[in-house]
Amino acid sequence: MTHTTTRRLVLDETAQDLLFRQAHTVDRFTDEPVPDDMVRAVHDLVRNGPTAFNQQPLRLVLLRSPQSRGRLARHLSRGNRDKTVRAPLTALLAVDNHFHRRLPEQFPQFPGAIDLFTGEQGVRERSAMFNGALQAAYFIIGIRAAGLAAGPMSGFDEDGVNGEFFPDGDLSTLLLVNIGRPAPDGARPRGPRLGYDEIRTTL
Amino acid sequence: MTHTTTRRLVLDETAQDLLFRQAHTVDRFTDEPVPDDMVRAVHDLVRNGPTAFNQQPLRLVLLRSPQSRGRLARHLSRGNRDKTVRAPLTALLAVDNHFHRRLPEQFPQFPGAIDLFTGEQGVRERSAMFNGALQAAYFIIGIRAAGLAAGPMSGFDEDGVNGEFFPDGDLSTLLLVNIGRPAPDGARPRGPRLGYDEIRTTL
């Protein structure tokens, strides 16, 4: 099955392995730094991914200083603290809750797009979260495309992190991602996955 | 810039183009069918993508019959109707609001994971939406990895679609995606993208 499906794709097997089949969530990294031009290269690739009305709500806060990492650590679940302080780079992925202000310039073919998001705040924040999550996934794929490993984490006190880094409420935290090269035995073993026949219905 | 960043990545340039740089949201497709084994191959690749606690909430409903496509069409925004009825395949991407029932088997290393989601329904549904969105993005990338084009759409009456296809509330619709081979001039031109220096802060 897997062999057949591998060949059903156009993407070559090396790339399939790099991005999905041999890629793993990583908890422990080597000390090799992740320079800013590498994150820039990741963004240059994945910023092309689609979002609704090209809204692109995702914002990156790169926590490089020990101070910034310490400010984050106190809001993390216990199991996420040590590995985050030690990671070469931690990226805080957030969304701009005022993304709609950029729509006239980012989606010029539909000037009315901004009006869809000027009403109820909940509608706007839900759209930011959903489309920011799409972009967060593209970003994880991009980290792997750069030959790096990602350690995405949702185990943190969301209100605490938002209060710490975004006290004015303009941004909301989505996800934290540790980034670097995997240490030996730093990757988690692959967990089980649901089969196609469990998740697909045809009508 | 772009040339430099292209070479900063490990993923080869052909794959970069296939998945991101030359890939476009498509509105019109050829008549070539998208067989089920191709969707299965896409899933076999992208099911490896990470989700929190390996929760994998995404479910696919493939709308193949004219009847099912018609049931959907009445809940679509006007601009999405014709192209959806004519697409070789429309996938309704939804999340299982009871994903937590599978956690003991899908995330056995933390038997308490299910308890994080048995309380407030809003917490569970938010997690399903966020992690389902990650998986929706992996799925879009997977469609491109199969040499196909995706036309993701958020312009639909969400309550209407949910009432039509999921009247018992077990699933919630995230996104609709038309799938096929692009017709000549069927792809949208690339919209603008925010620059790295606009979206990245370093602390």
- Given this model, what pLDDT does residue B188 score? 78
Taking the C-alpha atoms of residue B69 and residue B59, their distance in angstroms, rounded to an integer, is 18
Q: What is the pLDDT of residues B125-181, one digit of tens each?
A: 999 999 999 999 999 999 999 999 999 999 899 999 999 999 999 999 999 999 999
Neighbouring residues of B168: CB distance < 8 A, sequence distance ≥ 6:
none
CA of B37 vs chain A CAs: smallest distance (Å): 8
Q: How many CB pairs under 8 A join A and B?
A: 253
Q: What is the pLDDT of residues B60-86, one digit of tens each?
A: 999 999 999 999 999 999 999 999 999
CA of B131 vs chain A CAs: smallest distance (Å): 8
DSSP conformational letter for B182: B
- Given this model, what pLDDT does residue B189 score? 82
Q: Identify all chain A residues contacting B154, using CB atoms and an 8 Å cutoff.
A: 52, 127, 130
Q: What is the mean pLDDT of chain A?
A: 95
Q: Are B135 and B46 in contact (CB under 8 A)?
A: yes
Q: How far is CA B73 from CA A35, B33, B68, in A?
A: 48, 20, 9
Taking the C-alpha atoms of residue A166 and residue B45, their distance in angstroms, rounded to an integer, is 36
Q: Is 90 exceeded by the pLDDT of residue A57? A: yes
- Centroid of chain to Cα B166: 18
Find, in chain A, the residue whose alpha carbon is nearest to that of B67.
Answer: A203
Find, in chain A, the residue whose alpha carbon is nearest to that of B174.
Answer: A130
Strand order in the sheet with A149-153: A149-153, A171-180, A89-96, A58-63, B200-202
Neighbouring residues of A124: CB distance < 8 A, sequence distance ≥ 6:
A97, A99, A100, A117, A118
Taking the C-alpha atoms of residue A23 and residue B53, their distance in angstroms, rounded to an integer, is 17
Q: Is 70 exceeded by the pLDDT of residue B3? A: no
Under DSSP, is residue B14 helix (H, G, I), strand (E, B) or coil? Answer: helix
Find, in chain A, the residue whose alpha carbon is nearest to that of B148.
Answer: A10
A202 → closest Cβ in B6, B62, B147: B62
Under DSSP, is residue A91 helix (H, G, I), strand (E, B) or coil? Answer: strand
Q: Which domains does chain B have, with CATH numbers?
A: 32-184 (3.40.109.10)
ipTM of the complex as predicted: 0.96
Mutation for testing the A interface, residue in B6, B20, B56 having most A CBs under 10 Å = B20
- What does the pLDDT average to over B37-45? 97
Neighbouring residues of A14: CB distance < 8 A, sequence distance ≥ 6:
B12
Q: What token pair was written down for A167? A: 């006290």
Taking the C-alpha atoms of residue B64 and residue B34, their distance in angstroms, rounded to an integer, is 10
Q: What is the mean pLDDT of chain B?
A: 95
Q: Give the pTM.
A: 0.97
Q: Identify all chain B residues contacting A19, using CB atoms and an 8 Å cutoff.
A: 11, 141
- What does the pLDDT average to over A41-46? 98
Q: What is the pLDDT of residues A59-115, one digit of tens each?
A: 999 999 999 999 999 999 999 999 999 999 999 999 999 999 999 999 999 999 999
- Given this model, what pLDDT does residue A4 score? 64
